[in-house]
Amino acid sequence: MKRIIFPTDFSEAADKALEFAIEICKRANLEMLIVNAYDLPYAQNVMSTSLIDIMRENSENSLKEIADKVKAAGIPCSTRSLMGNPIRVIKEITKKDPESGVVMGTKGASGIEEVLIGSNAASVLQSIDVPVLAIPYKAEFRNIKRIVYCTDFRSNKNDRALRRLATLAGFFGAEIMILHVQLEGQADLATEQRHKFDHHLKDIPYSFHILKSNNVEQAILDFTKEKDADMLALLTRKYGVIRGLFHSSLTNKVAFHSQLPILALHESE
């Protein structure tokens, strides 16, 4: 990872996420790109030049305030004020910068569709091909010591995700707890996948945890609380966010009840 991309809508939720973005940049010696995308309301049929100019000026002034704060923390940064749909803007930026990571705030709405900034937030997880760290609105930054990585052991394209997970854990000197919740009567899928973890996480302290439960969501929530985890990591699939294992009720509980940051990783091509 070479750069953190920090999209902001200048909300309190975004301000909270900035604390995490700054700390990651410090630990990893990364620069930050601060982005604000503004768009006219859909009902605005006539493009008013004066309105666009006002929106641009407000965006640029607010970005400068954030940049001053980031620079004061000793982090090199740049800003970009762009007109357009925020999701499309972030997607285009990350396409040109595949070695970046995104840190975004969460707003406290329910369901995975509303986890990240923006009403079409699920598309961030589906279409942006870099790691996305979603920070709950009321999260307080603390040193990341324990990362729980939930897996169903079904993906054969998780090599890149594991490398990225290892990189992030290395920044903080964190251990990784690999968690698999096995349903009653389900076949053991862990054995054949363990060699990948042994290979990609060889320089990171990690452990395997296999739980048997018919309530996957509650088992994961209880495990993160029991282990006092600092972050929950999950894998997104090419054709949509994993449902069932990581559906909206789990996301709601973890992101908005226990205030746990969620790291979304992506399968390799």
Q: How confident is the model at residue 188 (pLDDT cuts 50, 70, 90)?
A: low
Number of structural domains the chain divides into = 2
pLDDT score recorded for residue 126:
61
Top pLDDT among 206 and 48 is at: 206
Whole-structure pTM value: 0.83
Same domain, yes or no, for 167 and 74?
no
Mean pLDDT within 65-69: 97
9 & 125 share domain: yes
pLDDT at position 186: 63
Per-residue confidence band for 240, with pLDDT thresholds at 50, 70 and 90: very low
Query: What does the pLDDT average to over 106-135?
Result: 60
Tokens 């006539």 belong to 46
Domain for residue 141, yes or no? no
Could you tell me if residue 140 is inside a domain? Answer: no
pLDDT band at 112 (very low <50, low <70, confident <90, very high): very low
**pLDDT above 80 (res 255):** no
| Burial (CB count within 10 angstroms: exposed 0-12, middle 13-18, buried 19+), residue 266 | buried
CA 244 distance to own-chain centroid: 19
Residues 45 and 96 grouped into a single domain: yes
24 has a pLDDT exceeding 60: yes
Indicate whether 129 and 252 sit together in one domain: no
pLDDT digits (tens, 9 = 90+) for 155-179: 667 888 899 999 999 999 999 999 9
* Mean pLDDT, rounded, for 92-118: 70
More confident residue, 66 or 158: 66
CATH number, domain containing residue 183: 3.40.50.620
Shared-domain flag, residues 169 and 116: no
Place of tokens 């320089």: 203
Residue 129 and residue 169 in one domain: no
